[in-house]
Chain A
Amino acid sequence: EPEVTQTPSHQVTQMGQEVILRCVPISNHLYFYWYRQILGQKVEFLVSFYNNEISEKSEIFDDQFSVERPDGSNFTLKIRSTKLEDSAMYFCASSEPPDGNQPQHFGDGTRLSIL
């Protein structure tokens, strides 16, 4: 069964540094998402992306964050100047058109640790 793949599985970064988290969505999906889960807390929506632009973003997704689909297969989340509170699991998801009947398929996540 097709999978969403994320790399790296664990990223350790110094506070203030830039980090890029990478995702390869399922090949025929056109809708992409990033979520995060701070340890012990709920999974939270960050951003959705379709047709090379952001379709919705949460209040968490401030100017430090950006997303990009640099080529036909990758979908990236960049955090420009990381803060301690950015430490979390970051999940990428993809789906077919969200008509209410299409589940979002999630990757295994990238654990981001900010020191």
Chain B
Amino acid sequence: KQEVTQIPAALSVPEGENLVLNCSFTDSAIYNLQWFRQDPGKGLTSLLLIQSSQREQTSGRLNASLDKSSGRSTLYIAASQPGDSATYLCAVFHLYSSASKIIFGSGTRLSIRP
């Protein structure tokens, strides 16, 4: 059974710092991995999707990497801003389950101090 773990559970950094959020998963047979952002009381916004054949994806100040063999992904945020404060969720689209569901981690709650 696939388990997705995110460390740390919470992170607070001063504005302008670069930071890394970590995600690990127990079964490397995945279709893809997505990073989502969730603002309080809001839905899930997809930030980046990395296919299983890819190593990384970039969008603006965000860069996500994927190492399938070790079951790890990182989300790198450059030059953090207060508007980046949110919960970041990692989720895997599992290959051997029906290709129709996502398994989520519990998230990292990020706070950027002005």
Chain A positions within 8 Å of B, measured between CB atoms, are: 4, 6, 31, 33, 35, 41-45, 48, 50, 55-56, 58, 91, 93, 98-101, 103-109, 111
- Smallest CB separation, B93 vs chain A (Å): 7
* Chain B residue with Cβ nearest A4: B43
B46 touches A104 (CB 8 A): yes
Knowing A43-B89, A108-B42, A108-B43 are in contact, say whether A98-B100 is a contact too (CB < 8 A): yes
Encoded as 1 (CB less than 8 Å from any A CB) or 0, chain B from 24 to 43 comes to 00000001101010000111
Residues of A within 8 A of B107 (CB): 42
> B101 touching A106 by the CB < 8 A rule?
no
Taking the complex as formed, is B98 at the interface, i.e. its CB lies under 8 A from any CB of chain A?
Answer: yes
Residues of B near any A CB (own CB < 8 A): 31-32, 34, 36, 41-46, 49, 51-52, 89, 91, 93, 97-107
Q: Which of A56, A91, A111 contacts B98 (CB 8 A)?
A: A56
B100 touches A33 (CB 8 A): yes
Across the interface, do B100 and A100 meet the contact criterion of CB distance under 8 Å?
A: no
| Closest chain A residue to B47, Cβ basis | A103
Enumerate chain A residues within 8 angstroms of B101, measured Cβ to Cβ.
33, 45, 48, 56, 58
Residues of A within 8 A of B49 (CB): 101, 103
A65 to chain B, nearest CB (A): 15
Point out the residues of chain B lying under 8 angstroms from A93, CB to CB: 44
Known interface pairs A98-B93, A100-B52. Does A56 touch B100 (Cβ–Cβ under 8 Å)? yes
List chain A residues, Cβ under 8 A from B104.
42-44
Q: Are A55 and B100 in touch, CB under 8 angstroms?
A: yes
